[in-house]
Structure 1
Amino acid sequence: MSSNKIYYILYAVICSVLFMSTGYAKGTQDERHIEVALRMVGHQVLLNSGDSTSRVLPISIENDRYKIQFASEFEFIPGDLVSTVHRILNESEIGASYILEVEQCNTGEVVYSYEMNNTEKSDIIPCVGRIQPKSCYIFYLSLMESEEPVTTLDTGSSPGDLFMNRSQIGYLMV
Structure 2
Amino acid sequence: MAISKGDKVPSSTLTVMTADGPAPVSTDEYFKGRKIVLFAVPGAFTPTCSARHLPGYIDSVDGFKAKGVDEIACVSVNDVFVMNAWGKSSSADDKVTMLADGNGDFARALGLELDGMGFGMGKRSQRFAMVVEDGTVTELCVEDPGAFHVSSAEHMLGLV
TM bin (shorter chain): under 0.3
* More contact order relative to length (CA 8 Å, sep ≥ 6): 2
- Return the structure number with greater strand share: 2
- Return the structure number with greater helix share: 1
With normalisation by structure 1, the TM-score equals: 0.25
